[in-house]
Structure 1
Amino acid sequence: MSFPKYPEYKDSGVEWLGEVPAHWGVKQLKYLVTCLDGQRIPLNGVERYSKQGSVPYWGANKIMDYVDEAIFDEELVLLGEDGAPFFDVGKPVAFHSSGPVWPNNHIHVLRPGDSAWVKSIVYGLNATNYIDFVEGSTRDKLTQSRMMSIPLAWPPHDERNHIDSFLDHETARIDALVEEQQRLIELLKEKRQAVISHAVTKGLDPDVPMKDSGVEWLGEVPAHWNVVKFKYLIAEFEQGWSPQCDGDQAETLDEWGVLKVGCVNYGVFDPTENKRLPDNLEPRPELSIRKDDLLISRANTRDLVGSAAHVPMDYPKLMASDKIFVVRLHQRICRSRYAVVYLFGKGVRHQIELQATGASSSMLNIGQGAIRELWIPLPPDSEQDRIVHELEKREADFAALEQETVRHMRILNERRSALISAAVTGKIDVRGWQADQQSRQSEILMAAETRATYG
């Protein structure tokens, strides 16, 4: 499917909009909406926990939780105020809210002058270049005054509705492809977890004799393995320190830093996930992390709490935060790298999540006992090394597949964004489009290559 240009254009008077169809107008947002920001009410995690329900609770650019009552129940435009991805191609910053909703103070709430305008405004705001409207040195912020001055290309009523229908139809096609890619990523994660679980509970030899582990959720394990609790493998078990740190990270090995909880996400240690210790604070060298330390997050979201990573070398000036357990194992009995892959397995993840507590699903905690009391099947140290080596090879294959899938999703989202931009700024003329037209998906995506294509 290809789209023609309009027969005649005029200067919009807005540099980033460029030319628009000659019969279109350009309107500032303040003439299209009423801002309802004064009615927003933020809720902290404890307050949300006490109000759990089915009403979406919105943050800067997504639903953060669900509560039991609404502030609004009407057709609205929600537009990120601070923390939204204003400059990330393919990521929306404006959303259509229809029905009960509770927005917090990080997202603007806009009532359109006519409810029929809501889709046009959302599409237009997601095609806006925010470079002249967003301010802030450390966190992008769209103030109310700057927001209301945003210009939108504004076609006549019937044409505007037709563009909305076109975009609803075509973006739904692209969204379906993105959803398929997302499902593939979830399947890859499930497969990865299943491979790990099998290796650390059944071993690599399918013909090895088995025995009952004595632990219901573990089932059978190889007959020559031991089954013990983590507490018998631990030489030291420490918790870090969380002083008030700078926002910047420690950029060199000569600067002291405090590790953030994200340094162990998904089983890979990332030393750059840290905050620089201010010069006026004395470091605590006893909290420095060392080679073969096992780091475990004690506070995070449900799917990340209990994440673990192996430290491959000494970091004399990186300290663990108080959201991280530092576990030093008897390496001759249990390798830290083996413990990491074991803690990623499906069965043990379920046990950790059962032990997690907290007032909000966005931040759960586990105590030392949740780790100490975990059962672990323990092969001989040489077999632990072979299992880790084999899983690392399989992980490389999974990672390559996931990266390729993520790349496809990024391309689809970029094309979706380009298609919206081209339609709402008049770079393509879709007045001849009909919803019942049949076209190949590839032809539809070709229509959305880049904005420049339609220049």
Structure 2
Amino acid sequence: MKLKPYPKYMPSGLEWLGDLPAHWKIVPLKHVLVDMESGTSVNAIDVPASSGEFGVLKTSCVYGGEFIAAENKAVVPEEFDRVSCPLRRGTLIVSRMNTPELVGAAGLVRRAEAGLFLPDRLWQVSFHDAEPAFAHYWTQTAAYRVQVEMACSGTSSSMQNLSQGQFRSFAFPRPSVAEQVAIAAYLDRETAKIDTLIAKQEKLIELLQEKRQAVISHAVMKGLDPMVPMKPSGVAWLGDVPEHWEVGPIKRFFSFLDGKRVPLSAEERGVRAGDYPYYGASGIIDSVDDYIFDEDLVLVSEDGANLLARSTPIAFVARGKYWVNNHAHVLKPVDEHLTYWSERIEAENLVPFVSGSAQPKLTIQALANILIAVPPSANERQEIEAYILSESAKIGTLIAKAQQAIALQKEHRTALISAAVTGKIDVRGMVDQESYEEKAA
């Protein structure tokens, strides 16, 4: 059904908002606010609170525009008496301090879990004469973001602040509460449909990526000839391999370039830190042992904490220039056609090869002696590489189409929310009248 505009409009007086339905009002946000609360920063560990524990929300709980209760940290028992501002249902959680893209990000609390509290960098906003879900959708519009950007101008380029006074002064389009509820109900229904379509495409991409990895794994472990004689590799995870292939340690087929890393001074790191992607244990350049490579390499995390927590990739193939610190091993194939054996290392579960308990490490000796199977002929290696490239291209085309579909659905979602919340379309007849008026009462 094609959605129609309202029968009559009036100028809002704001260039970035345009015309509004004639019966709507535009008011400062403070006119529909009951309270804006913030919590306390307390010591916590970076794991979610369990049942019976207190948790303090992370600012990431609203990064995606939706409130995610699981984004919290367990408060240490010694700090239980310092927590404040418990989470309440029907409120809007707003990030008051963040990067330019994320300051002002907001999420609606549809269900308040007991034991969760706010830190000082988040607000909990409650309303009167406004439907919280409508206000939440409003925070996802360009009309809201432009006000955030104007309010935060002049602050740090990397970390910006939004004051309560600025937030309260934002221009808020206000139809009746019953109409706000109707708009929110319509958007709940329609965005759920869009989100389902997006989820299906995301699942398709996941399956295609798994298929690509399966193509690579089979090709570099079994070869391309299904009739070739096989032999036991003697390695559990390899199983049977082509009879003529060589089974040997990684160090036979890859060079270890750890010793070629050249330390950079603190001054050099500060100047060049943003030039290239970074790979290391912490995710930031904060060590004197930072280096740069400009070759196609396999980067393997040496840091046991990352291996066991999976907070960063264990291994990945780096093409181009990367910063690398001393928490990563650097491998380079001795034969250019062994690139996809590199990806097999990337997919392998390396945790069993970690040693140590207090500070677990993947030593260079352990990594170098992991067994792999490789065809001795350069021609066969090249044939396998060509096959993988061909199959990957086909899969890549399907992934690109799915990604394009997701982008279009997200654009449609954003446009629909903006059109409904700013009165460019009339959705009042699209939901059950009695139902939403009862909810608004």
Instruction: Give the TM-score band, short-chain normalised.
Output: 0.7 to 0.9
Matches within 5 A, 1:368-383: 368=364, 371-382=367-378, 383=380
Cα deviation, 1:159-199, whole Å, max 9, x if unaligned, reads: 11111111111111111111111111111111111111111
Q: 1:311 to 1:15 in 2, by over 3 A?
A: closer
1:16-38 Cα distance to aligned partner (Å, 9 max, x none): 1222112212232333332222x
Asked if 1 retains the 8 angstrom alpha-carbon contact of 2:131 and 2:177, the reply is no
Q: 1:48 aligns with which of 30, 46, 53?
A: 46
Cα displacement string for residues 134-163 of structure 1 (whole angstroms, at most 9, x for unaligned residues): 434533635123323222111112111111
2:330 to 305, 326, 329: 326
Cα distance change of structure 1 residues 35 and 368 upon mapping to structure 2, 3 Å threshold: farther
Work out the CA distance in 2 between the residues paired with 1:16 and 1:404: 33
Does structure 2 conserve the Cα–Cα contact (< 8 Å) formed by 1:295 and 1:324? yes
1:228 has 2:225 as partner: no
Distance 1:208 1:406 in 2: 38
Contact (CA 8 Å) 1:77, 1:94: kept in 2 or not? yes
Corresponding letter in the other structure for 1:83: T
Cα 1:370/1:171, change in 2 over 3 Å? farther
Aligned partner of residue 326 in structure 2, secondary structure: coil
| Contact 2:231/2:243, CA 8 A, preserved across alignment | yes
Whichever residue aligns with residue 386 of structure 2, its letter is H
The answer to whether structure 1 residue 94 and structure 2 residue 106 are counterparts is yes
Give the match for residue 30 of structure 2. Answer: 30
Task: Summarize the alignment of residues 314-393 of structure 1 with structure 2, pairs less than 5 Å apart.
Answer: 320-328=324-332, 331=334, 337-345=339-347, 348=348, 350-352=349-351, 355=354, 367-368=363-364, 371-382=367-378, 383-393=380-390
1:412 aligns with 2:409: yes
SS in 1 for 2:237: coil
8 Å contact from structure 1 (residues 298, 305) kept in 2: no
Structural mapping, 1:249-328, within 5 Å: 260-261=278-279, 287=291, 289=293, 291=295, 293-298=297-302, 302=310, 304-309=312-317, 320-328=324-332
Residues 174 and 292 of structure 1: CA distance in aligned 2, closer, same or farther (over 3 Å): closer
Residue-by-residue CA offset, 1:65-94 (whole Å, 9 max, x unaligned)? 45557942433212234137469xxxx932
1:138 matched to 2:162? The reply is no
Match of 2:216 among 189, 196, 204: 196
Structure 2 vs 1, CA of residues 126 and 293 (structure 1 numbering), >3 Å: closer, same or farther?
closer
Q: Percent identity?
A: 27
Unaligned runs of 5+ in 2: 76-82, 434-441
User: What per-residue deviation string (whole Å, max 9, x for no partner) do you get for residues 117-138 of structure 1?
Assistant: 2101101111123232343453
Give the drift of 1:294: 3.4
Report the Cα distance in structure 2 between the residues aligned to 1:94 and 1:125, rounded to whole angstroms. Answer: 7
User: Which residue of the other structure, out of 87, 103, 111, is the alignment partner of 1:72?
Assistant: 87
Question: Alpha-carbon deviation of 1:106?
Answer: 5.1
Cα distance change, pair 157–259 in 1 and its aligned pair in 2 (3 A): closer
Q: What code does the residue aligned with 1:341 have?
A: E
Q: In the alignment, is the contact (CA less than 8 A) between 2:27 and 2:173 conserved in 1?
A: yes
**Corresponding residue for 1:246?**
270
Q: 1:105 to 1:336 in 2, by over 3 A?
A: farther
* Matching residue's letter, 1:5: P
How many residue pairs are counted as aligned between the two chains? Answer: 393
